[in-house]
Amino acid sequence: MAKYKSEHPWQRTFHKYFTEILSEKPFLRKDPGPYVSIARDFGCTANPLAKKLSAELTKINMQRGIKKEWNWINKEILEASAKELGLKTSEITYVFRSQQKSTIDEIVSALSSKYYQSDRKIRKTITEVIKSLLSDGNIVIVGRGGVAFTQHIPRSLHIKLKAPLEWRINRISKNYNLSHEEAKKIIKKVDKERKALVETFLGKTTDETIFDIIYNRETMTEAQIIKSVICVMESKKLI
């Protein structure tokens, strides 16, 4: 496997993981973490919050003489998985919508493309990629079923961003130039897909008790949420 030339932390970790897997010396950390997972209802944006939270956590580390940055990941999971499979990101996005190819689709894909990859292999690769990206800790993972991979780890915090349906409908309608009815349909569809993705990775049905904290995005600003998260992380000795 060729080395990645990029200096992005997630790519270095990704390469390290597969190098060790191939050499049959998988790494294990005795005290994994810390991690923060951010799940969100559709319409509650999380990327800007994750970026700012990571920056604040990095600043805290530096002030305490800890020379370790916090990073946040989201689409990197999709990009790294596609690269490992030799596919385009658009060819595996359906997995994150908790969808599966039909038997006919599988057969047609297998016959028509030398780059065919089964659902099982795609999901397995995504799982391996997520685990590799999380290997060194100090990670904020946005969506992608992240809570399923870190829930069992003591040094982790899991939050979810929610908001009233009408607030989200107005937001999606405005941002995507959709009617309220169209926005409502998309919200219900995406919310269902995200819940199904987490349950697929967990291997069981679940509810919102898997999260430590739920924030209302209608009533709380990003700054307020970040301040709250840092306070909780300090009380849990995650930072």
Q: Which residue, among 187, 188, 209, has the nearest Cα to 198 in the 3D structure?
A: 209
pLDDT one-digit tens code per residue, 206-227: 899 999 999 999 999 999 999 9
Which tokens in the block code for residue 101?
């190819």
pTM for the whole structure = 0.72
Say whether the peptide bond before residue 34 is cis (omega within 30 degrees of 0).
yes
> What residue segments make up the domains of the chain, in order of their start?
31-235
CATH topology (fold) of 31-235: Rossmann fold (3.40.50)
Distance CA 91, CA 234 (A): 41
Task: Please provide the DSSP assignment of 95-128 as one string.
Answer: HHTT----HHHHHHHHHH-TT---HHHHHHHHHH
The predicted structure's pLDDT at residue 105: 38
Task: Give the residues across from 161 on adjacent strands.
Answer: 40, 215
pLDDT band at 233 (very low <50, low <70, confident <90, very high): very high
Mean of per-residue pLDDT scores for the chain:
78
SS3 state at 59: helix
What pLDDT shows up at residue 100? 45
Tell me the C-alpha distance between 103 and 118, whole Å.
11
pLDDT at 186: 94
The answer to whether 137 touches 239, Cβ cutoff 8 Å, is no
pLDDT over threshold 90, residue 168 = yes
In a 3-state reduction of DSSP, which class is residue 68?
coil
> How many residues would you count in the chain?
239
From 89-93, 137-141, 231-235, the region with the lowest mean pLDDT: 89-93
Amino acid (one-letter) located at 171:
R
Average the pLDDT over 112-121 and give the result. 49
